[in-house]
Structure 1
Amino acid sequence: MAAEGDFLLRYRAVSNKLKRRFLRKPNVAEASEQFGQLAKELKQEECLQYAGFCNLAVARCEQTLFNAPGEALALTDAARLFLQAEKETQKLQCPGFEEHLQAATNCYSFAIKVYIELNQPVMAASLCLELGNALKEMNKPAEASVHFQRAAELQSQVPIECLLSLGKVATCKIITRVFMDVIARCEVSRVLLLMLLQPPPQKLLLEHAQTLEKYDWESFDSHSQVNYLPENIFLLLQSVVMACQEKDLESLKVLQVELWPLLTPEQNHLLHLVLQEVLSPSGRGV
């Protein structure tokens, strides 16, 4: 059995067999078989990412041998191993940069490309769906929708399957919109809280300063920084920030009337408190 500690030694030993020797061609088929065996042993020992790297090496060997089906199969095995490694990392709540997920996505993409070149759109579509489902399970509906859409395009000759994939696209779009609504609601409450608390510049946290900068009238194309907010709400919030900075109570009253039907009850209460703060003699401004 392969141990994680000697993985590199065995991997390099097989890789060395692929180097050209004087008057002797490397035995690529043998190397492919040995990489595959190492991948199986590593998978049994739950060294999933290392097994994935070995399957990638198998894919390269199969490409050298012009064995496209073997290459696609090895890429798919690698993708699933990297994906499983990412799921294990997330289950353990380990910090990371989702490098295993990125590796899995790349492997799936290459395998899909090979199947398309082999004129096997059904196999390519099935991998698109597999990746899309995995991303959706990881709460990445926006990324998942891209792969569901590609699956639908590859299924143009099978209308029912195409419609099912488009249904998955629609579901992801709806979920994504819900996520954006939550982000938008949090942004509005965040701005109103800052207007209410009015922290002095020297006590303003960097992240709070960056939030207010997005509503600066002099900021170029500032709405693009908060494109999850409808433009009318963004412009009204921008006006609220300016009115608070100027302690312009009359403008705030007008803005309150315009914002009232667009905000949640909690946000309307916050805006009411902002007006009270500006009205009071202790109103300090931001």
Structure 2
Amino acid sequence: MADFANYKVISNKLKKRFLLRRPNVSEVSEQFLSLSRDLNQFKAYSGYCCLAVARCEHSMGNTAAETQALLDSARLLRDGDQLNGAISAYRHALRVSHKSLHTSIYGELATLYKRHQKYLEASNVYIEANLLKEAIDCFLSCSQWERALETFSRVDSSVMTESDFVTLFLLKLYLNDTNKCEFNLPIVECNPQNDELMDLNIMLESLLIWSQTRSEDIVDSIAAHLFPKLNGHQNQLLYLILTEKDD
């Protein structure tokens, strides 16, 4: 590619060789940035140019500009399907950036992993960022039930929604033997004025009773009534409770 061939020309300006004076790094950085813009339709090449910008800004001690160049590179490499390069750029940005930017950078990195269905990696990124509910969702997406339950134990109940309480209840029910240990789980907090929530509570209580008694007379009714009230992850847990725990 003719335009990208200029990358080597610009890079050579940073080499002292027989020059009698130091190279103008600021000027080289601007040239790499300009080349990146010229190559914008070729995302990967443009991203590599931004990495070169970041190196220049680092050598000049311009942390903010280095961070921005790394993020620009990560996004371009991401859009150019250069997964490993994008991950590396995001990680580098986390090392040099101000802490105030970390949450958003972690969020972009986790989203990148999810785009490639790498949910376990995404969940670990969310854990690093202390975004626990987002981590739980990813653990559920890759069937890491125990890790989802453990992470729930670290979530402040004041930020949990009704749906979170339902998911937590189902996780505990699936991972515990109700006939071998005390199982006084709080069903999702009930609002007496909410008929739909009241019905859900009743069905969850029925599910707990079934898990303790294994009465075949009610299992089909429980499944039929609960299924439309639950989301995808919750229905997967319901299926596991009704099948695997019945083996």
User: Could you tell me the TM-score, scaled by structure 1's length?
Assistant: 0.49
1:77 aligns with 2:69: no
Name the CA shift for 1:145/1:262 in 2 (closer, same or farther; >3 Å).
closer
How many aligned positions are there?
A: 151
**Counterpart AA for 1:10:** N
- The answer (yes or no) to whether the contact 1:108–1:127 under 8 Å persists in 2 is yes
Q: Give how far 1:122 is off.
A: 2.2
Q: Which residue, out of 71, 88, 91, partners 1:109?
A: 91
Aligned to 2:140: 174
Q: Give how far 1:171 is off.
A: 0.6
1:188-214 Cα distance to aligned partner (Å, 9 max, x none): xxxxxxxxxxxxxxxxxxxxxxxxxxx
Residues 84-103 of structure 1: matches in 2 within 5 Å? 84-86=79-81, 100-103=82-85
1:136-161 Cα distance to aligned partner (Å, 9 max, x none): 13211101011111111xxxxxxxxx
Cα distance in 1, alignment partners of residues 106 and 144 from structure 2: 24
**Counterpart AA for 1:132:** A
Which consecutive unaligned segments of at least 5 residues does structure 2 have?
Answer: 146-242
Q: Give how far 1:79 is off.
A: 0.2
1:63 aligns with 2:63: no
Cα distance in 2, alignment partners of residues 12 and 113 from structure 1: 27
Which consecutive unaligned segments of at least 5 residues does structure 1 have?
Answer: 87-99, 153-164, 180-260, 269-286
- The answer (yes or no) to whether the contact 2:74–2:87 under 8 Å persists in 1 is yes
Cα distance in 2, alignment partners of residues 31 and 73 from structure 1: 17
**Counterpart AA for 1:69:** A
**Counterpart AA for 1:170:** I
Q: Give how far 1:175 is off.
A: 1.0
Residues 161-240 of structure 1: matches in 2 within 5 Å? 165-177=131-143
1:141 aligns with 2:119: yes
Larger Rg: 1
Aligned to 1:126: 104
1:19 aligns with 2:15: yes
Cα distance in 1, alignment partners of residues 11 and 34 from structure 2: 14
- The answer (yes or no) to whether the contact 1:126–1:151 under 8 Å persists in 2 is no
- The answer (yes or no) to whether the contact 1:39–1:50 under 8 Å persists in 2 is yes
Aligned to 1:30: 27
Aligned to 2:47: 52
**Counterpart AA for 1:171:** D
Alignment root-mean-square deviation, CA:
2.4
**Counterpart AA for 2:62:** N
Cα distance in 2, alignment partners of residues 11 and 121 from structure 1: 32
**Counterpart AA for 1:9:** A
Cα distance in 1, alignment partners of residues 91 and 19 from structure 2: 37
- The answer (yes or no) to whether the contact 1:63–1:71 under 8 Å persists in 2 is yes
Give 3-state SS (helix, strand or coil) of 1:122's partner: helix
Cα distance in 1, alignment partners of residues 123 and 50 from structure 2: 27
User: Could you tell me the TM-score, scaled by structure 2's length?
Assistant: 0.57
Cα distance in 2, alignment partners of residues 15 and 22 from structure 1: 14
- The answer (yes or no) to whether the contact 1:113–1:124 under 8 Å persists in 2 is no
Cα distance in 2, alignment partners of residues 262 and 78 from structure 1: 46
Cα distance in 1, alignment partners of residues 65 and 94 from structure 2: 13
Q: Give how far 1:8 is off.
A: 3.8
Percentage of identical aligned residues: 35
Cα distance in 1, alignment partners of residues 139 and 5 from structure 2: 47
Aligned to 1:228: none
